[in-house]
Amino acid sequence: MLIVEKRLDVLVMKALIAGFKRISLTDVHNEPTFTLWLCGCNLRCPFCHNWKLAIGDREICKPIDINYIVDRVISTKKFITYLHVTGGEPLLQLAALEEIFRGVKDHDVSTSLNSNLTFPDRLEYLLSKGLVDHIATDLKIPFDELSGLGRESGVLWKKFIESLEVILGYNVIFELRIPVARDLTLKYIEEVLSSIERLLNNINNMYCIVNPLVGEPLVDPRDRDWARRYCNPSMVQVYRVAEIVKERIGCKVYVKKWWSFGS
């Protein structure tokens, strides 16, 4: 969504955002970022703690002048590696996202996109313009369950695969995140990886983050009952998932530790 207002014969372009953090040390692995949250999402992940901005809650989602955002990023450029845009799903606001990325790259700020990768055409458009330097995504296993879409998820899973194929053609850094759901991810991971490991092994500049899903009290998930059942896996499960990833995919693997959930 690109919101355009006219003020004194000047066009003001706006993006629908939920906020930003000028210096974050948690959104891209080992890199400081200016992190911007765009509103809207096409998935319904039950563990999502940003679900209010994903549904466009008007109490937190506000139209903000793109020039204002770009100016804030530029003023922080000495302290960050990337402008990291997340959500929600940023590709839903493609025109606004393009303007933001173009604005900061004009001032030599590198860009990072956190996407669910279900819009391959929009992703390729930005990549073809040289507007994205780093991409992060979650490999949701199993996709039908973790996307919250059930039987309707098949089409979007194919779009995810298409996006991986798009990334193959560009020299970007790729952060593949694997959220671990208790008693789910470990059950299905080998089956899923067997279907896409050849593709993943051909992506250059890729690393993997194995990330235990957390629920209450650290976050406010969309579906609390689901989170109580599947969040907070044991570290035994988390490390086993990491071992499988190391065995099947030729990339560095890091484990994110929120706390020790038990053995």
* pLDDT at residue 258, as a whole number: 65
User: From the DSSP assignment, how many helices (H) and strands (E) are in the chain?
Assistant: 9, 10
Q: What is the pLDDT along the chain (263 residues), one digit of tens a residue?
A: 565 554 444 457 999 999 999 999 999 999 999 999 999 999 999 999 999 999 999 999 999 999 999 999 999 999 999 999 999 999 999 999 999 999 999 999 999 999 999 999 999 999 999 999 999 999 999 999 999 999 999 999 999 999 999 999 999 999 999 999 999 999 999 999 999 999 999 999 999 999 999 999 889 999 999 999 999 999 999 999 999 999 999 899 999 986 544 44
* Model confidence pTM above 0.85: yes
Task: Point out which residues pair with 1 in neighbouring strands.
Answer: none
Closest to 116 in 3D by CA, of 141, 96, 90, 95? 90
Task: Please classify residue 108 by burial: count the beta carbons closer than 10 Å to its beta carbon, then call 0-12 exposed, 13-18 middle and 19+ buried.
Answer: exposed
* pLDDT at residue 171, as a whole number: 94
- Domains in the chain: boundaries: 3-255
pLDDT digits (tens, 9 = 90+) for 135-144: 999 999 999 9
* Structural contact between residues 35 and 20, judged by C-beta atoms closer than 8 angstroms: yes
Write down the H helix ranges in 40-119: 51-54, 66-74, 94-105
Helix (H, G, I), strand (E, B) or coil at 182: coil
- Reading the block at residue 8, the tokens are 């004194």
Q: Which residue has the tokens 């001032």?
A: 107
Check: CATH 3.60.15.10 for 3-255? no
CA atoms of 171 and 235, how far apart (whole Å): 34
pLDDT digits (tens, 9 = 90+) for 65-89: 999 999 999 999 999 999 999 999 9
- Reading the block at residue 227, the tokens are 């989170």
* pLDDT at residue 262, as a whole number: 44
* pLDDT at residue 250, as a whole number: 83
pLDDT, mean over the chain: 94
Q: Which residue has the tokens 């014969």?
A: 9
